[in-house]
Amino acid sequence: MTPTPTNATEMANETVDSLAVLESRGSVAETYGIPLAVLAELTHRCPLQCPYCSNPLELDRANTELTTDEWKKVLSELAEIGVLQIHFSGGEPTARKDLAELVQHATDVGLYSNLITSAVLLTKDKLRALADAGLCHIQISFQGNEPMVADRVAGMKDAHAKKIEVAHWARELDLPLTVNAVMHRQNLHQLADIIQMAVDLDADRLEVANVQYYGWALKNRAALMPTLQQIEETSRIVEDAEVRLKGILAIDYVVPDYYALRPKKCMGGWGRQFFNISPTGKILPCHAAETITGLDFESVRGNHSIAWIWQNSDAFNRYRGTGWMPEPCQSCDFKEIDFGGCRCQAFALTGDAGNTDPACTLSPLHERIFKLAETEAAGDVNRFIYRNFKGGTPEDQADRSA
Amino acid sequence: MSASRSRKLSVTEASRPVLPRHAQLKFDKTRERWVILAPERVLAPDEIAVEVLQLCDGRSVAQMLDQLAAKYAAPRDDIGADVVTMLQDLADKGFLVEAKEPTP
C-alpha cells in the first residue's frame, strides 16, 4: 500500500484497522507461538496481607528465590525467544533490592516493562530510579477508596495514603498508571468512588477485578463473596462509567465466576498465550496453577530451555486445546471459545482439574456453586484470614501495624 | 491536569507528534513485523502507519507531508488530510503526544 489515499472517509476507516490488537484479553496471539507478554513473580514477600491474594497458600521463601543473575538470564532468554513485554509482579516486586537492576536489564534486552505493585515500599527516589531504568508502565493496587476499608483489607496501617502518594509521583514522572481494584462484598459499595479516585489520580486504565476464588481467596470466600444484588449494581456502575469516561479512563471489568452463566476463557486457554514464572523459577500456565496437585512444573533451574518447557512440558500439554475435555465440554459449541473455563477453579471445586469449570451453567455442579455463593454472601462471616508465611492469621489476632 | 494534555493532542500541520514513553514502535524479529508496545497491549500497525510513525521524531506534520509528497510524487494536499486523520486517530488512542521541545 502507498500513502496516497483516495478519500478521507476510506482512510479514516483504514486507520481504525491499521492498529490490529495483537494481544489484550482474549486475542489471536496463540497463532504466534511464544507469548507476547510474560508475568515474572519476583518474590512472594509482601508487606500487605490481603485475604484474596492470588499467590499460593504455600509461599516461596526468600532464600529460594531466583538470584539477580538468574533473573537476568531469564529476561535475556525471554527476549531471545520473542517475548515482547515483561510484567514484574509478586508478592511485592519492590521488596527485591535488585528491581531497578532487573528493569534496566529488561530495557537493555529490548523488553517493555510493567510494574505490578502495592506501592507501599516505594520512595520517590526508588520510583525515579525505576523510571530512569526504562520502566514503561506502573499498575498500583488499591483496596478501597479511603483508609478505613482499604487499610483493613490490606492488613496494613497507612497503606492507602502511601498508595495515593506514589500514584501522584508516578504521574509526575510521566509513568502511565493503571489502578487495580480487587472487589468483593466488603468494598463493592465503594466502586463509584474508586472509579472517581482513578480519574482524580490521572490513571489511564482501571481494572475492576472481582475476586477469583483460589488459594487465599478460597480460604476467605465466605467473607468476600458478593451478593447477586451487589453484582447487578456493579455491572450498572461499570457500564455507566465506561460511557461517561470514554477517552478519559479505560475500564477492564472482570465479572465474578460464581454468578456467571458461561465460564471465563481463563488465561486465553491453558498454555495458549500466557505463562508466568514463580519466584523459584517454575514456568507456570497461570499464577494459580500450583494449587493443582499432580502436575509437575519445570523450572528454569532445570535442564530445559524456557521455549522447550512452553512447547513440550507435560504440565502445559495436559490441558492444551480441546482433546483432554470430558463431557459436557467435548460436544459443546463453546469449547473453542472458553476452553472449558478455569482449570484451577475446576480443581478447587471438584477435586479434578480436568472437569468442566463449575462456573459454567452446563456443569452438573453449577447450581450447587451458585447456591453456595448466595448462602455465603448472605452469611455473617466478615472476619478475614490474613495472608502470610505462617499459613494465615485470623483478623482478631493480627498485627496490622506493619 | 497533567495528562489531559497528552490525551488531547489536536493534530495540525504545526504539531510535532512523538510517541510517548509508554508506546514503543519496534520491529519484532521473531514475528517479522512492526509492533507498537503499549501498557497491557501489543498492536500491529499497517505499513502506512509504520511509515508515518517513523517520521514522528519531533519534526512537524508540515515537514512530514513535504517528505511524503516528495517520496511518493503525490500532490501534498491529497496526502495532507489523510495523514492528519491518521495522526489524530493515533493520538486519540494515546500513541502520539506533542513533543516537549521542537527539534532543530
Residues of B in contact with A20 (CB under 8 A): 43-44
Cβ pair B22:A247 closer than 8 A: no
The nearest CA of chain A is from the CA of B104 a distance in Å of 24
- pLDDT of the residue at A12: 32
pLDDT band at B31 (very low <50, low <70, confident <90, very high): confident
Is the predicted pLDDT of residue B3 greater than 50, yes or no? no
Cβ–Cβ below 8 Å for A114 and B26:
no
Whether the CB-CB separation of A218 and A226 falls below 8 Å is answered with no
Separation of alpha carbons A62 and A235, rounded Å: 40
Predicted confidence (pLDDT) per residue in B45-102, tens digit: 999 899 999 999 999 999 999 999 999 898 998 889 999 999 998 888 888 988 876 5
How far is the alpha carbon of A113 from chain B, nearest alpha carbon, in Å? 9
In this predicted complex, what is the ipTM? 0.83
Whole-model pTM: value is 0.88
Q: Do B42 and A247 touch (CB under 8 A)?
A: no
CA distances from A382 to A122, A135, A230 (A): 31, 39, 16
Q: How far is CA A41 from CA A90, A115, A281, in A?
A: 4, 11, 9
A161 three-state secondary structure: helix
Q: How far is A203 from chain B (nearest CA, A)?
A: 9
Q: What angle do CA A214, A236, A260 make, to 5 degrees?
A: 35
**Residues in CB range of A1: below 8 A, 6 or more apart:** B46, B47, B48
Is B18 in CB contact (< 8 Å) with chain A?
Answer: no
| B42: chain A residues, CB-CB within 8 Å | 21-23, 29, 36-37, 84-85
pLDDT of residue A194: 98
Which has the closest alpha carbon to A324: A288, A259, A270, A267? A270
Average pLDDT over residues A310-329: 91
Residue A31: its pLDDT value, please?
41
- Residues A53, A387: contact at Cβ < 8 Å? yes
Q: Are A386 and A155 in contact (CB under 8 A)?
A: yes
C-alpha cell at A214: 483460589
Q: How much is the pLDDT for A282?
A: 97
Query: Mind listing the pLDDT tens digit for each residue in A123-146?
Result: 999 999 999 999 999 999 999 999
For A191-239, write each residue's pLDDT tens digit.
999 999 999 999 999 999 999 998 899 999 999 999 999 999 999 999 9
Q: Where are the alpha helices (DSSP H) in A203-305?
A: 215-219, 221-224, 228-244
Alpha carbon distance, N-terminus to C-terminus of chain A: 60
pLDDT tens-digit series, residues A26-56: 333 344 488 999 999 999 999 999 999 989 8
- A91 prior amide bond cis, ω within 30: yes
Query: What pLDDT, on a 0 to 100 scale, did the predictor assign at position A10?
Result: 29
Q: What is the mean pLDDT of residues A145-173?
A: 97
Write the pLDDT tens digit of every residue in A13-28.
Answer: 333 345 555 544 433 3
Would you state the cell numbers that stand for residue A244, as one nine-digit string?
461517561
Cα–Cα distance between B7 and A378 in angstroms, integer?
Answer: 43
Q: Is A137 in Cβ contact with B2 (below 8 Å)?
A: no
Tell me the mean pLDDT in the region A314-318. 92
Contact A34 B43 (CB under 8 A): no
**Overall average pLDDT of the A247-274 stretch:** 87
Q: Determine the pLDDT at residue A19.
A: 57
Q: Give the nearest chain B residue to A82 (CA atoms).
A: B30
Per-residue model confidence as pLDDT tens digits over A50-105: 999 989 888 999 999 999 999 999 999 999 999 999 999 999 999 999 999 999 99
Give the orientation angle of helix B76-92 with respect to helix B47-54, to 10 degrees: 90
Closest Cβ–Cβ partner in A1, A85, A247 for B48 = A1
Which one, of B96, B104, B100, B68, lies nearest residue B10 by Cα? B96
Q: Is B52 on the interface with A (CB under 8 A)?
A: yes
H helices of A89-190, in order, are 99-108, 124-132, 147-154, 159-172
Cα dihedral A88/B57/A174/A118 (nearest 10): -10
User: What is the model's pLDDT at position A196?
Assistant: 98
What is the share, in percent, of chain A residues with pLDDT greater than 90? 78
Is the predicted pLDDT of residue A288 greater than 60, yes or no?
yes
Q: What is the CA radius of gyration of chain B?
A: 14
Give A325-369 pLDDT, tens digit per residue.
999 999 999 999 999 999 999 999 999 999 999 999 999 999 999
| Alpha-carbon distances, residue A332 vs A13, A222, A326, A355, A370 (angstroms) | 36, 32, 10, 14, 21
Question: Is B30 in contact with A81 (Cβ distance < 8 A)?
Answer: yes
pLDDT at position A172 is 96
Q: What is the CB-side half-sphere exposure of residue A130 using CA atoms within 13 A?
A: 30
Contacts of B89 in chain A (CB under 8 A): 12, 15-16
What pLDDT was estimated at residue A20? Answer: 58
A355 CA to chain B: closest CA distance, Å? 30
CA neighbor of A92 nearest in space, from A125, A67, A59, A68: A59
Nearest to A112 by CA among B22, B97, B63, B55: B22
Q: What is the CA radius of gyration of chain A?
A: 21
B27: pLDDT strictly greater than 90? yes
